[in-house]
């Protein structure tokens, strides 16, 4: 049966890739956005997630996938950051979820974040689907509060809720620190990342989209939390080597100890950057694989290569 799916944030990194995949799969996808753009799927342009014009659109929808969010802000200028995150990630999420339930939408798939679990797995134990949530920053806190609100709404209304917590997502169009690393590698300049022995889980955009597609209709997905990754871990040192290979570049990595990074970046007020570069964050996806019978279709090496090729690198 053809699914009718509404994707919020359909102009964004994950939302656009998902809506495009749905159209290619023969499903009916509608993008919910705040601005018009050239898309291969129909759009519903709204002023916000509480826009009443959404109601008749949602009345014809089977599943809502909520990718829209206030994500990490590189240079925060909000006077009250946690309130700014809550306004979008909690209040906005609950507004469209309530409207969806009122219009008879069967399932609501929420793209949360591994930051709900915490910032690192320094103890050596990976995050699992049932790990106790311990968000530390405003973004992670707002995502966790949204998860709790959605679970309560599911109990009250009977609408099925599925929660997916991805770590860092990479792929064509990636931004932020990952894009900065790609640019550095592309320049073939010596980089001081030759001695960092951390372990981080990443997820290729294609893998995340593939899991979302499974969660649209899988009967065992309802009411569950799923972690997702490429199913392998990588150090920042090995990540840069793999990026260089994908680009056909020769990369010189200088063996600078991780403590030097932490001290230097800490003095520059960039402790969080140092933590992401040198710290570990590993997720265990065995529960996701067992419950859904899903496995990442793309390896880390394939995902990096496809990202570089699609960007013309």
CB contact at 8 A, 275 and 177? no
Question: What's the 3-state SS for 168-233?
Answer: EEECCCCCHHHHHHHHHHHCCCCECCCCCCCCEEEEEHHHHHHHHHHHCCCCCCCCCEEECCCCCE
| Set 85, 127, 129, 139: catalytic member | 139
Q: Is 85 a catalytic residue?
A: no
Catalytic residue set: 139
């Amino acid at each position: 049966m053809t699914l009718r799916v509404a994707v919020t944030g359909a102009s964004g990194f994950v939302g656009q890739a998902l809506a495009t995949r749905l159209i290619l799969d023969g499903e009916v996808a509608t993008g919910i956005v705040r601005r018009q753009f050239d898309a291969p799927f129909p759009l519903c342009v709204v002023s916000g997630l509480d826009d009443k014009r959404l109601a008749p659109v949602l009345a014809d929808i089977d599943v809502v996938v909520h990718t829209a969010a206030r994500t990490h802000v590189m240079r925060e200028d909000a006077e009250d950051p946690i309130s700014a995150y809550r306004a979008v990630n909690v209040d906005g999420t609950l507004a469209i979820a309530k409207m969806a339930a009122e219009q008879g939408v069967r399932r609501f798939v929420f793209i949360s974040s591994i930051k709900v679990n915490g910032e690192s797995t320094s103890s050596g134990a990976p995050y699992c689907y049932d790990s106790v949530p311990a968000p530390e920053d405003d973004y992670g806190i707002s995502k966790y509060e949204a998860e709790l609100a959605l679970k309560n709404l599911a109990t009250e209304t009977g609408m099925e809720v599925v929660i997916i917590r991805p770590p860092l997502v990479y792929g064509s169009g990636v931004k932020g620190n990952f894009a900065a690393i790609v640019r550095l590698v592309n320049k073939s300049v010596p980089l001081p990342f030759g001695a960092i022995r951390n372990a981080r889980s990443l997820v290729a955009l294609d893998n995340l989209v593939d899991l979302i597609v499974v969660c649209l209709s899988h009967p065992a997905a309802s009411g569950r939390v799923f972690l997702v990754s490429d199913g392998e871990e990588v150090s920042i040192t090995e990540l840069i080597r793999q990026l260089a290979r994908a680009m056909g570049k020769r990369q010189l990595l200088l063996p600078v100890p991780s403590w030097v990074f932490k001290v230097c970046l800490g003095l520059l007020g960039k402790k969080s950057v140092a933590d992401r570069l040198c710290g570990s964050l590993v997720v265990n996806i065995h529960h996701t694989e067992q419950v859904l019978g899903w496995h990442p279709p793309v390896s880390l090496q394939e995902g990096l290569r496809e990202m570089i090729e699609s960007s013309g690198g």
